[in-house]
Structure formats: C-alpha cells, structure tokens
Structure 1
Amino acid sequence: MTLPPPIVDSHCHLDFPELADELDQVIARARAAGVTRMLTICTKLRNEPQVRAIAEGHDGVFYAAGTHPMSVADEPMASVDDLLAVAAHPKCIGIGESGLDYHYTAASAALQQDSLRIHIEAARRSGLPLIIHARAADEDMAAILSQEHARGGFGCVMHCYSSGAELARVAVGLGFYLSMSGIAAFPKSAELRAIFASAPLERILVETDAPYLAPPPYRGRRNEPAYTVHTAQVGAELFGLDYAEFAAATSGNFDRLFTKAVA
C-alpha cells in the first residue's frame, strides 16, 4: 500500500465543538490522507488548558495560543508574561492567533492594535512565530507589522491569507509567510490565487482553518484537517509542481518557521 505524501495542516481548531465531538476520528482521517501534523489554535487564553490537552494527547498535534482579535473586547487583555508562560510548554510552538479584524469588530480597533503589539512582543521574546489574522485592515496591519519588525525581528505567518496584494508584498518583504486556506480554492478566488502565485514558494504554508472554509468539493460543509490535501492540490497547480513536491515544500516551510515542532 502506497502512503500519501506527508503534509502539515498549519492552522485548525480541534477544540471547537464541530471537531471535538469526534476528535479521534477526525485525526485518524487526517493521517489517512497524509496530514501527519496539525497545529491547533487556541483563540482565547481561558481555553488554553483544553487546547493543550489535545496536543498532549495526540502525536503530531501541536498548539499555539493567543487572543483572537474578534474576542479582545470580551476577554481580559493578555499580558506578555501571560503569553510567555503558555509558550514555555513543549508542544506550544506559536503565539496567536492575534491580529486585526475590522470587518465585524471595527469598534474594538484600538484594543485589537494594543493586543497585537503585546502578541508581537511575546513572539519576539519567546522566539516563537506569530500567527496573524487580518481582515479588512490591510493598511493598519502593514503599518504595525513594519513598525514592530523595525524594533526587533520576529517570525510570522499571515494565516488564511485573503487580503490584498500590497499587504502580501509587505509581509513577504519582512520575511513572513502566507498561508493558503480553502478560500484560495474557491472558483471566484482567481485574484487571491494570483497573489499566492507571485510569492516565493519558500514562503507558502497550507492550512484548513477547520472547521471553517472547506475547499471544493466540500464547500459549505464542515471542514477538517484531512481536506488540507484539496487546497494543496490547488497550490501545486499554481506553482507548477506535482502534489508530492508541493507537500514537501510547504512542510519544509512549516519546519523552518515553527522550529520548535522539529526540536
């Protein structure tokens, strides 16, 4: 029996109820599809113990923790020390997701910016990469990332990238990574696919953002890490590679960014 090429789902939410209720089966299906490693993201620090437990209980599952920008108005403001304490866990390999989302939560823009800068400082001090959520905030995001990077370097991935070409240019110019989700596989996402195709292959990751954003042919259904392969097939076509080559390239990129996953 030929095993599928190994690939990483660089961003999912295994603690969300849509997946947590059948977690072992979800992880088994992912592994059968060749998704040998998964990074599950904690979006509220008060939920960190549950997310940590998932990572501790499954080989090949790692986690990151932070405060999602859409939650900052309803959650206690995390401190740098709060984030550093979580980052010390052996299976915590990233900071976030943090960022800016002005689509639904523009009223909390100032709080989001404060939280983002705190997460950046935690990434800088811990040496772990920052996981960024960006929506409808391209100018402010580009400005903050550029300002903060000038103060001291940090690693970063623009998760589920769906913003414009200019923010992508800024991010890649800072040495950051762009992560391709199922959105890039949607038929109407030609402009987004062009943004990915113009970026260096060595700066591309692939993710599901499960349980959201299932790629075709599962669009409209619950997403899960096994479906990483469908988005990766689109990525392989964009870069003129076969699937195994693209899987190897994006997995290698993941290892270069999330170095703690291979330590």
Structure 2
Amino acid sequence: MPDVSLDLVDSHCHLDRLNLDAYDGDFQAMMAATRADGVSHMLCIGVDLETFPRVRDLAESHPDVHATVGVHPLYKESREPDADELVRLADHPRVVAIGETGLDYFYAKEQRDWQQRRFVAHIQAARRTGLPLVIHTRGAKEDTLALLREHGGGDVRGVLHCFTEDTDMAEQAMAMGFYISISGIVTFRNAEALRDTVRALPLERLLIETDSPWLAPVPFRGKPNEPRHVARVAECVADLKALPVAEVARVTRDNFYTLFSKAAA
C-alpha cells in the first residue's frame, strides 16, 4: 500500500490521455485517488498544439496541476510550432515550461531535419521566456546536447524526462543545468543500466514521474498507468540509493519546484 503521508510530485504525466476505465470514466474519482495516495502535484504535459487547450484547461481547473506547451518530436502530423507561438501560449499563469520537445532517433532516425528544426524552436522559446524545457531524447545523445549548447547559449535549463540514455549524457546535461527524470522504466527487469545510472546520480538533480498513461511500473506493468503510481518510482529510487522513501519524495518535490519555479509562485 502507498504511504499516504508522502508528499509526492508527478513531474510528467498526460492527464488528458488517461485510461479511466478503472474509475468508470470519472476523472474526478481518479484525481481523488491520486491525492489519497500522497501525490500533491502533477505536471500535465502538452504534446501538440491542437490539444494544448485541453491541457491548459485541466491546469486552470485543478490547483494541484500545472501545464506545459510544446510538440512531441514524434508528432510529425501536428501543426508546426514556432518560437513566437510557443512564447505566446506560455504566457499563462498555469503554463510553467516549454515542451515536450526533443529528438527521437530510435523511432524516427530518418526524420532528423524536421525534428531538429522543431527542437530549435522550442529551445528559442525557452530562452526567450526563461521557462525550463521538457526534453524527450532517445538515441540522439550527441545532437540533443549539441543543439542545446548551440542554441541555448547557456541560458536554458530543464529536464531530460523518462531518462533511458547513459550516465555520461546525464552528467553532461546536468553540467548545463538540467535535471534527470526517472519513470517507471526503472522498475523493469531489463533496466539494470538505468538503475546503475540512478545509483550514480545525485538525488539533488533527480525528478520522478509516471509518463502516464504509458510505462506503468512494476507491479502494474502492462496496465494503464496513472499519476498515483509515481509512489512506486519513488520507492525504487529509494531502494537504489538506500534512502528512506520519504527523503526521495521530499528532495524530488523540492527539485520540482526549484526547476519549475513558476509552479511555486
């Protein structure tokens, strides 16, 4: 059973895309269950401009939810983002970051040009607004880091979400002011390399997330994920670092509000 005394933050979830069958389609029942399991805040991530109004509306109607605006690197059919539009949409009290953006060469290695063009637009928007970037990166270590250096100018911070790359990439990103977010993948049987990375990284630079409705942690793997399962991620990180889960919850919560400072205002 989850420790309901914990104060957990799910730093990356897609509330507008959750499977609510377990709650008979009742979104508010899901939110109540999430709060009852000790989750005090959720960041609802925008993945395209077409559905951004839904993401923004959820943040407007729930005090424990904030939002981001961006276009996922695999959403090629979504409307092309430009920095001006991203800056305009981010000028909202509940929008605290730019993204989800980034590069995914694992699934779209032949489509690098347009991914990079969109990524640069998001970097520019983050630089202009001072908001952090939420980055999806897979199989694109060198280009991700290079574009951040070239276009971020040392002024852009953020998070590499749902991290599955190597420890060297994490360390290079942290040197640029980024945090590393750990998802339920860390509980998977074949994720020993990721567990080694978690052991190596300082807790002060980690966030935890669900990326729900995807990537449910063990023992929920194969089922729809939801924000309350972030407790399982916290428990795994605590085991790997030989720390009390309450400390992992506290530090990752504080890290969240340090990075997404607009959410703390």
The TM tier, using the shorter chain, reads over 0.9
Q: Are 1:102 and 2:105 matched, yes or no?
A: yes
CA deviations on 1:163-214 (whole Å, 9 max, x unpaired) are 1222112111112100000001112211101112211211100000000000
Local SS of the residue matching 1:98:
strand
Quick check: 1:172–1:199 contact (8 Å CA) kept in 2?
no
* C-alpha distance 64-231 of structure 1, shift in aligned 2 (>3 A): same
Quick check: 2:48–2:79 contact (8 Å CA) kept in 1?
no
Local SS of the residue matching 1:89:
coil
Q: Are 1:124 and 2:157 matched, yes or no?
A: no
2:53 equivalent in structure 1 = 49
In 1, the alpha carbon distance for the partners of 2:73 and 2:194 equals 23
- With normalisation by structure 1, the TM-score equals 0.95
In 2, the alpha carbon distance for the partners of 1:137 and 1:154 equals 19
Match of 1:199 among 179, 198, 201: 201
Residue 17 of structure 1: CA displacement? 5.1
1:5 equivalent in structure 2 = 6
Local SS of the residue matching 2:221:
coil
1:261 equivalent in structure 2 = 263
Local SS of the residue matching 1:70:
coil
Q: Are 1:69 and 2:79 matched, yes or no?
A: no
Residue 152 of structure 1: CA displacement? 3.8
Structure 1: where are the runs of 5+ without partners? none
* C-alpha distance 3-231 of structure 1, shift in aligned 2 (>3 A): closer
Percent sequence identity is: 42
Match for 1:16: what amino acid? R
Quick check: 1:11–1:207 contact (8 Å CA) kept in 2?
yes
In 1, the alpha carbon distance for the partners of 2:26 and 2:210 equals 17
* C-alpha distance 19-142 of structure 1, shift in aligned 2 (>3 A): farther
Q: Are 1:224 and 2:226 matched, yes or no?
A: yes
Quick check: 2:18–2:226 contact (8 Å CA) kept in 1?
no
2:63 equivalent in structure 1 = 59
**Further displaced range: 162-171 or 28-37:** 162-171
Match for 1:107: what amino acid? E
CA deviations on 1:63-82 (whole Å, 9 max, x unpaired) are 101000001x3122211111
Match for 1:57: what amino acid? S
CA deviations on 1:5-45 (whole Å, 9 max, x unpaired) are 11100000011152594321221111011111000111001
In 2, the alpha carbon distance for the partners of 1:179 and 1:8 equals 12
CA deviations on 1:217-245 (whole Å, 9 max, x unpaired) are 10110000000000100111222210111
Equivalenced residues, count = 260
In 2, the alpha carbon distance for the partners of 1:156 and 1:221 equals 29
Match for 1:121: what amino acid? Q
Displaced runs of 4 or more, over 3 A = 19-22
In 1, the alpha carbon distance for the partners of 2:149 and 2:156 equals 11
2:87 equivalent in structure 1 = 84
Q: Are 1:26 and 2:52 matched, yes or no?
A: no
**Further displaced range: 155-164 or 136-145:** 136-145
Structure 2: where are the runs of 5+ without partners? none
Match of 2:41 among 33, 37, 40: 37
Match for 1:9: what amino acid? D
- With normalisation by structure 2, the TM-score equals 0.94
* C-alpha distance 39-19 of structure 1, shift in aligned 2 (>3 A): farther
Match for 2:250: what amino acid? A
* C-alpha distance 25-152 of structure 1, shift in aligned 2 (>3 A): same
Residue 161 of structure 1: CA displacement? 0.3
